[in-house]
Structure 1
Amino acid sequence: MRIVLVTDAWEPQVNGVVRTLTRTVAECRAMGHEVEVIEPSQFKTIPCPTYPEIRLALGAEEEIRERLRAFEPEAVHIATEGPLGIATRRICVEWKLPFTTSYHTKFPEYVSARFPIPVQVGYAYMKWFHKPSGRLMVATPTLRDELVEHGFKNVSPWTRGVDTELFRPDLEPIYKEMGGDAWPRPFFLNVGRVAVEKNIETFLGLDLPGTKIVVGDGPARADLEEKYPDAKFLGAKFGEELARCFADADVFVFPSWTDTFGLVILEAMGTGTPVAAYPAHGPIDLIPGSGAGFIDDDLKTACLKCLELDRKDVRSYAEKFSWRASAEQFIENLQPYPEPARGRFWRRLRRVARLRRRAAA
């Protein structure tokens, strides 16, 4: 199948959305599908306000039109609600071309945390954006139920996976190389973007034994480093170095209330490190009854309970999640045209394009 994936989040950004999309594309291609990715680096961009590392594409609509005509996709998936997503949505609605979307980020809550914009305004925008979508893919049942309560339609599951070859328990310890001989155990770790919506300050403010470690970068890092001098801020880590950070921790702490899944939860579990979290989207679907962590409204309680878990049980639970199964579910959610209708659609579109070019000439 020929698939167009449109996303405003792509490499070199490092986050759960990008990891999900890049792994999905890789798995789809491995299964024999042809995937055309439309992403910001292919266009002129500007930095996103308050997040300069995120680039927003400008003036992309005409080029997207041409690429859709040239590729003649059997399915279009719009992964994000940014400028590229908006442009592609407009084209699909105009052409009556079916498409699917996904809900990766609690956008209304993120915006409300940074600007004086009510959450209900964000949800109004999100409902408008996703309304024409044939299917809205979400990562967890809890998020699906919440969106349905908000009035979203056609909500379908799309789970996530973890690379259990990279994130594994037998990796060499890493913190000793960073001066960790002098750090008291246990090690409580957080990994992710260091930003206000991730609620990292709650983690840093907990009265816990041992050492708190933060791996990642972001706009809130400097302020938090100054406010919590005893915590260890190690910056962004990648690949095996990141996996070693997970494996050398005693507990992974996930304090976010706004993530829709939290891939780092599965990555920590892959290394055998149990996860402590609030009963929020993602953790509430992944952790209870897993033997791989605890959720609690008192995050300190969850952290201390995790110290009692068997790391072998944690690893065993992570092995139940694969990126191939995630990609297969993604493919099932797409809505390609039946073969005869698909051919008629693109022939009609080519005729319209020729007539427009003649009129312009």
Structure 2
Amino acid sequence: MTRLLIVSDAWHPQVNGVVRSLENVGNTLARRGYEVRYLTPEPFWTLPLPTYSEIRVPLPSLRVVQDMIADFAPDHIHIATEGPLGLAARTLCVTGELAFTTSYHTRFPEYLAARLPVPVEWSYGYLRWFHAAASATMVPTPSVLKHLRRRFFRHLAVWSRGVDLSAFSPGPKAMFAGLPGPHLLYVGRVAVEKNIEAFLELKHPGTKIVVGDGPERGALMHRFPDVVFTGQLTGAALRDAYRSADVFVFPSRTDTFGNVMLESMACGTPVAGYPVMGPIDVIGTGKGGALEDDLASAVKRALSIPRSEAISRAKEFTWEAAADQFARRLAPIRSRVGIAA
């Protein structure tokens, strides 16, 4: 049996695309006979991330991480995040001359610059150094690959995402029945880097609904009293929210993919967003959604898209295909390919 170790600073109780992607690809590979183990912050002390207390940063012991890797004796190591835990695993792999792969999920430099006066180039310098030691760095879309190539990252490969069509599927539009239509929905973190204000400031009839939680929720609820804030929803309630919306609005300009767009389209709800990295790869030429520099125009156009087209587009993304891409890029840990300080 092939043993795969996935190292990630992001893990439960966080609810985000990184955690969902790692779980889904791990579950898919496990069904194929892999033994998959996750090395996460759970065994370590954690501290709240400054300006974002919902996310906790692990304080890993290098010796403990080393012992956990040795006890599992993996055939492949994948380091999914560039935080303290990922850095500890990277250090051990480089010093031990063990090959490993990494993945790039988040435009951390832009997120950090939105919160603190840290130059974007400094952050990209760290990320470039971090990923340079990997035999391959997996990125979610071709547009992200092009973006990182322009910043001189090497050994890049696309690892796409999927959607669970058995969970996210069409159904009755019942959740927002008592609210004026059309129903415009956002699902995700309520944080400054998500550009939610661009959605909430739209002059459009109907009701705007925000599903999710985060550090900006309180301030936005105060500024936009007519918007419905549900808090975080999961399971059947989340699926009902997707199904009950008329348009899913994705205002982010910094996401590298946007799993929520696939979930929405799988439930039959078209997407409106900007023609930027992430949406241009998920929506493509417009099947299943509308992308415009003017978000209001995108919403108007998305309202006319048949729900069947959104469903059809979502079916093009499967976790089976994503797991194929992931598995092809894994490196045997005793290979010296890509090892560099």
| TM tier, smaller | over 0.9
Deviation at 1:59, TM superposition (A): 3.3
Whether the aligned pair in 2 keeps the contact of 1:290 and 1:317 (CA below 8 Å) is no
CA drift of 1:277 comes to 0.6
Give the superposition deviation at 1:60.
Answer: 2.4
Structure 2, unpaired ranges of 5+? 337-341
1:77-133 deviations in Å (ceiling 9; x for gaps) = 000011100100100010010010000000100000010111111111110111101
Distance 1:79-1:171 versus aligned 2 partners, 3 A rule = farther
Displacement of 1:172 = 5.4
- Residue 115 of structure 1 corresponds to 116
Taking the aligned partners of 1:110 and 1:7, their CA distance within structure 2 comes to: 18
Alignment of 1:284 with 2:296, yes or no, is: no
Q: After superposing the two structures, state which structure 1 stretch, 320-329 or 196-205, moved more.
A: 320-329
Higher relative contact order (CA 8 A, sep 6+): 2
Instruction: Report 1:251-266 matches (<5 A).
Output: 251-266=247-262
User: Which shows bigger deviation, 136-145 or 51-60?
Assistant: 51-60
Establish whether residue 249 from structure 1 lines up as the match of residue 236 from structure 2.
no
Shift of 1:171: 4.1
Bigger drift between 132-141 and 69-78 goes to: 69-78
Q: Partner letter of residue 277 of structure 2? A: H
Structure with greater helix share of residues? 1
1:68-147 matched pairs, under 5 angstroms: 68-147=69-148
Amino acid at match of 2:251: P
Q: 1:148 maps to which residue?
A: 149
Decide whether the 8 Å contact of 1:187 with 1:211 is kept in 2.
Answer: yes
Q: 1:188 corresponds to which residue?
A: 184
Partner of 1:162: 163
Map of 2:339 onto structure 1: none
The residue type paired with residue 207 of structure 1 is K
Q: CA deviation at 1:285?
A: 1.2
RMSD of aligned residue pairs (Cα, Å): 1.3
SS of match in other structure, 1:332: helix
* Superposition deviation, residue 175 in structure 1: 2.0
CA distance in 2, matches of 1:290, 1:34: 39
How many residue pairs match? The answer is 335
Query: Which amino acid in the other structure matches residue 139 of structure 1?
Result: P
What TM-score do the two structures reach when normalised by structure 2?
0.96
How far the C-alpha of 1:199 sits from its partner, in A, is 0.2
2:243 touches 2:269 (CA, 8 Å); kept in 1? yes
Conserved 8 A contact 1:288-1:295: no
By how many angstroms is 1:337 displaced? 4.8
Give the 3-state SS of the residue equivalent to 1:321 in structure 2: coil
Residue type of the alignment partner of 2:104: Y
Alpha-carbon deviation of 1:322?
A: 1.1
TM-score normalised per structure 1: 0.91
Change (3 A) 1:298 1:172: closer
Matched with 1:2 is 3
Amino acid at match of 2:229: F
1:240 paired to 2:241: no
Select 1:267's aligned residue among 263, 267, 291: 263
